Chain A
Amino acid sequence: MTESDVHTLTGPFVLDALPADERARFEQHLTECAFCTTEVAELREAAVRLATQVAAPPPPALKADVMSAIEQIRQVPPLVPGGRNELARRRLGRRSVLALAAAALAVATTGGIAIDQYRDKQAAVQANERVAAVLAEPDARTVHGPVNGGGQATVVVSARADRAVVVLRDLPELPADRTWQLWLIDPNRTAHSVGLAGGDLTTVVNGSTGKIAFGLTIEPDGGSPAPTLPAAAMIPMT
C-alpha cells in the first residue's frame, strides 16, 4: 500500500466502512501514525454529527433495563497514570507533535515560495527550528478553515510562545500583481499584518496571544496597511 492509499483510509475507517481485514490493518497502522490518529479524531467529530439527522427516542422501558443492568456490571479499571498504557499514550502524544512538525516541515521545504525564501540553508534550518519550537509547546492548539477559492489554512497557536505556525496549502494562483497577506485580529477587531505570502507556505508569526482570529486577504503587490475585504479566510482562534 502506498502512503497516499493509507492516508485516504481515514475516511472509510471513520465511517466504519472498511472490510474486516482492512480495518485490522489500518488499526495497526494507527498505532504508529500519529498524523492519521489526529485526522481520525477530527473526522470522527464531524461524522458523528450525522446522527443528529436520524435521532429518535428509544422506548422508555429501555432505560429501566439499562439502569438495573448497571447494578450488576463492574466498570473496567481506569488506566493508571504512569502505567504502561499511560506511557504508551504519552509517547504517542509526543510522536503526534513530532509528526505534525515533520508534516509542516515537509511543506516548508517543498513549497516553491519557501525554497525561494530560505534558499540559504542556514536560514532554512533556523526557520524549521522555529516551527518545531511552537509545535512542541504543550499548549499548542490547532485551528483551521477553508480559503475562499480553494485551499486550506491551518494555524497552530501557542499562548506560551506568543507565536503561531501558519500553514497555507493548495491556495489558488494569484495574478502577478497580487499577494496574500496574513493578519491577526485583536478583540477590538483591528487587523494586524503579520506577513505576506506568494502562495503555499509554512511560517511562524509573532504576537498571537490575545488575538481572536487569523485572517488571510488578497492585496496589491507589497501588501496593504489595512485588509481588503472580503477576506479569503477568517479563522477564529479562541
Chain B
Amino acid sequence: MPDPFPLPWPAGSSTRPGEVSDGDLLLRTARGDRAAFSTLYDRVAPWVFGLVRRVLRNPAQSEEVTQEVMLDVWRTATRYDAARGSAQSWILTIAHRRAVDRVRSEQAAADRTELVGARSAEVDFDQVADTVTTRLEVEQVRRCLDTLTDLQRESIQLAYYGGYTYPEVAQRLDAKLPTIKARMRDGLIRLRDCLGTSKG
C-alpha cells in the first residue's frame, strides 16, 4: 500500500536552512546591531513599501511612511517579544497601522477610487518575486484566498489593501455591519487554517 498518511505539513517559514531568521535579526537590532538592522531592512522593506503603497497609492507619501516604519522598527525593536508573534507580523502590523492612520488623517480616501480586488492585488513577479519573496509563498497565499467566500475575501481585501473601516466596507459591499465584522473574522480564521500560521 502506498504511504498511508500523507501529512499536510504546514508551509515552512520563508527562512531557508542555515539562514538567520528575521526574528534573530530583530533581536540583534534590539541590541543596537546596525549590520543586523541593515540585513533586516533588505528583507522586509519590500513588504513594508509594497503594503504601504498599496494602501496610500501616493508614491512620495509611501516612501515617507516606509521610512517612518523602518525607523520605528529600529527605535522599538527592544520591545519586540518573540513569544507573542513573528518578526514579520510585528513589523507589518506597524506598517499597516501607520499607512491606515495616514490615509484616514489626510482624508486621502477621496483619491482611493481604484478597484481593490483580487486582480489589482497581484504582485509583479518580474519585479520582486524572485528577490524578496518566493513565488511559492505568493501562490500559496493566493490559493488560500481563493478558498474564502466572495464576501469574506472582498471584506478582507477592502480593509487590508484599501484601508477602509468596516462600516465603509459594509457600505461598499451593501451588507450589514455585523455581517461584515463576522466575515472579516471567519475569513481570517479560514486563511489562518489554510496557511498553517497558527501559533504553536
Contacts and interface: CB of A to CB of B under 8 A. Distances in A.
Contacts of A58: 45-46, 48-49, 63, 66
A146 interface: yes
A15 B121 CA distance: 16
Interface in A28-74: 38, 41-59, 62-63, 65-67, 69-70, 73-74
Given A54-B123, A62-B67, A75-B32, A45 B181 contact: no
A99 to B, nearest CB: 15
Contacts of B122: 53
Interface in B34-80: 34, 37-38, 41-42, 45-51, 53-54, 63, 66-67, 70-71, 74-79
Given A75-B78, A79-B79, A236-B7, A17 B169 contact: yes
Contacts of B51: 51, 54-55
Given A77-B78, A79-B79, 5 more contacts: A11-B188, A46-B191, A53-B142, A56-B53, A143-B200
A82 interface: no
Interface residues of B, number: 94
A63 to B, nearest CB: 6
A142 interface: yes
A45 B47 contact: no
Contacts of B113: none
B8 A67 contact: no
Contacts of A55: 46-47, 50-51, 123, 128-129, 132-133, 138
B18 to A, nearest CB: 20
Would you list the 5 A-B pairs with minimal beta carbon distance, nearest first?
A11-B185, A11-B184, A58-B49, A56-B50, A46-B192
Most chain-B CB neighbours within 10 Å: which of A54, A62, A76? A54
A175 interface: no
B34 A189 contact: no
7 contacts: A10-B185, A45-B192, A46-B192, A48-B89, A48-B96, A57-B127, A234-B5
Contact of B79 (A38, A78, A189): A78
Interface in A63-104: 63, 65-67, 69-70, 73-79, 89
B93 A46 contact: no
A122 interface: no
Contacts, number: 240
Interface in B182-197: 182-193, 195-197
Contacts of A41: 84-85, 89, 199
Interface in B6-39: 7-10, 30, 32, 34, 37-38
Contacts of A20: 104
B165 interface: yes
A141 B66 CA distance: 35
A144 B196 CA distance: 9
B67 A66 contact: yes
Find the residue from A41, A45, A143 having the highest chain B CB count within 10 A.
A45
A45 B34 CA distance: 26
